[in-house]
Amino acid sequence: MSVPSSSFACRPACGACCIAPSISSLNKPAGEPCRHLDEALRCRIFGRPERPKCCAGLQASAEMCGETREHAMRWLAHLEVLTHPG
C-alpha cells in the first residue's frame, strides 16, 4: 500500500471506502454500507470527532481508488481479505 496523497480527492458518488471494508467499531460487516453514509454516498460524520479512527486514517489515493468506483470496491475488498484476522 502506498502513502496516501493529500491532494487526491474522493470520487463523487463512490462510497467504496464506506461499503467494502468492515468497521468493527460500528459493527459494520464488509460489503454493507455504513450507517453514516448518505444518499449521495458521502460520510455524514466526516471530520467529526465521533468518526471512527480507522475511517479517519483511510485516505483516498490513486492506488486505492483507481479510475472507477468498481476498482476501489475490488481493491478495498482485497485489502479486507488480507487484513482479516484468522
Residue-wise pLDDT for 17-41, tens only, equals: 999 999 999 999 999 999 999 999 9
What nine digits make up the cell of 67? 479510475
Determine the Cα–Cα distance for residues 47 and 64; give it in Å rounded to an integer.
20
What pTM does this model have?
0.84
